[in-house]
């Protein structure tokens, strides 16, 4: 199983793209602007999209993907997310005003976009690759994902602030190899991080202190323009966990 990072920034500009990761060739984890790195042929091969939450930086490319490849694919695009996320996207994006409702095109019975509701604790088995829904603590209903190949695991927190429920699950993953965790703001914006339910380096250190299993830690969702400052603060606050900055194009094999 391999996970390719398409976008891992909190914003755009230059090479920065928002959250999206490609698992093997056919599964997308979040559909932020990083998706624009993919060729038409690569887009066409995506059968499943797992969304962490409804915020635009994680779903921006979804309406364009289904419009672009829907008509040339022979199967629907399966979108997995919390019921509340589906409802938000249906109400505010796929509402015939911002974008057509591809859940009804060409017909309700055989749509180009097929919604699948998931809940925390659910595991979706895609040809032996297990995607388990993890709890997250964000301003809107949100989750993280635990990807298990059968021999090793990778956990992606999604957007979250402090969340003991996450570590209860993660600490039971014996084959955990990689942890991708967000840190959206520098310490100077700690209050904003708390209000917007994200992490800053001091909060990240507190969270990593709850991790009881060994893992290589990668930091994602850094705010554009504050990346160097934030990584410097992480170096001070959380150096014992050796966190590294996640990079576009990075590939994890597990």
Residues of this chain that bind Zn ion (CB under 5 A): 55, 57, 159
Residue with Cβ nearer Zn ion (9 or 187): 9
Dihedral, CA of residue 20, residue 249, residue 3 and residue 26, to nearest 10: 60
Residue with Cβ nearer Zn ion (182 or 237): 182
Residue from 124, 123, 215, 177 nearest 2 by CA? 177
Residue with Cβ nearer Zn ion (57 or 233): 57
* Least gap, CB of 226 to Zn ion (angstroms): 14
Residue with Cβ nearer Zn ion (1 or 199): 199
* Least gap, CB of 88 to Zn ion (angstroms): 12
Helices (H) then strands (E): counts for the chain: 8, 14
* Least gap, CB of 160 to Zn ion (angstroms): 9
Residue 76 is given by DSSP the state: P
Q: Is 214 helix (H, G, I), strand (E, B) or coil?
A: coil
Residue from 201, 200, 199, 209 nearest 241 by CA? 209
Residue with Cβ nearer Zn ion (159 or 189): 159
* Least gap, CB of 156 to Zn ion (angstroms): 12
Residue 223 is given by DSSP the state: P
Q: Measured between alpha carbons, how far is 69 from 77 in angstroms, rounded to an integer?
A: 9
* Least gap, CB of 240 to Zn ion (angstroms): 27
């Amino acid at each position: 199983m391999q996970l390719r990072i398409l976008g891992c920034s909190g914003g755009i500009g230059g090479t920065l793209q928002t959250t999206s990761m490609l698992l093997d060739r056919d599964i997308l984890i979040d559909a932020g602007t990083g998706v624009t790195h993919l060729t038409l042929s690569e887009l066409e091969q995506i059968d499943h999209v797992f969304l962490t939450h409804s915020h635009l930086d994680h779903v921006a490319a979804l309406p364009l993907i289904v419009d672009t490849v829907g008509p040339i694919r022979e199967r629907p695009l399966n979108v997995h997310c919390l019921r509340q996320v589906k409802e938000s996207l249906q109400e505010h994006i796929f509402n015939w005003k911002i974008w057509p409702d591809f859940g009804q095109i060409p017909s309700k019975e055989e749509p180009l976009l097929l919604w699948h509701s998931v809940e925390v604790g659910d595991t979706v088995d895609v040809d032996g690759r297990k995607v388990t829904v993890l709890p997250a603590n964000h301003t809107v209903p949100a989750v993280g994902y635990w990807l298990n190949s059968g021999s090793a695991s990778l956990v992606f927190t999604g957007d979250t602030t402090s969340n003991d429920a996450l570590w209860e699950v993660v600490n039971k993953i014996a084959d955990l190899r990689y942890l991708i965790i967000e840190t959206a703001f520098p310490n100077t914006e700690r209050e904003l991080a708390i209000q917007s339910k994200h992490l800053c380096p001091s909060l990240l250190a507190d969270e990593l202190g709850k991790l009881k299993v060994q893992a290589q830690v990668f930091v994602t969702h850094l705010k554009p323009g504050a990346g160097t400052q934030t990584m410097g603060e992480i170096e001070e606050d959380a150096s014992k966990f050796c966190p590294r900055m996640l990079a576009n194009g990075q590939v994890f094999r597990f």
